[in-house]
Amino acid sequence: MSITELNSILIVEPNQVLTSPYIYLPPFIKTKRTTSLDHTLRALSQLNPDIIFLSCSFSHPIMLRLLEAFKVKSRKKIIPIILIANQQDGWSQVIGTSWGGKMGIISTEDTPQAISLEIERVLNA
């Protein structure tokens, strides 16, 4: 699968003003952005995202609850996840899981080309 074949993206990001890396996503893909655990859980009940971008700025307990919700949503097919490490936020924590090989990490400082390559890698894992 290619990034151009995606139909929907879920972005789970508490920082409402953070634009990178999200500005590099194709504008024609339906994108839903959530900022909290509750908002994300409500959105998941209505969405079937092709890929999820998850900020590493959430606390470990919230990250675990989000992953559990993503796991439930992935019953039929694993939804790829891209973890976003915000270099300006000294609080980013990367959780430990392999997610069936369909997990990647990008930084807010990554180039558009690096972002695209990591998304493609995860989509095709």
Q: Which pLDDT score, from 0 to 100, does residue 87 have?
A: 72
Rounded CA-CA distance 62/77 in Å is 23
Strand 30-34 with 81-85, pairing: unpaired
Domain spanning 3-123, CATH architecture: 3-Layer(aba) Sandwich (3.40)
Q: Which pLDDT score, from 0 to 100, does residue 90 have?
A: 61
Q: How confident is the model at residue 92 (pLDDT cuts 50, 70, 90)?
A: low
Task: Answer whether residue 73 shows pLDDT above 80.
Answer: yes
Average pLDDT of the chain is 89
Bridge partners (DSSP) listed for residue 11: 33, 53
Buried b (16+ CB within 10 A) or exposed e, 71-83: eebbeeebbbbbb
Helix (H) or strand (E) holding 79: none
User: Exposed, middle or buried, 56 (CB in 10 Å: 0-12/13-18/19+)?
Assistant: middle
Q: Domain limits of the chain?
A: 3-123
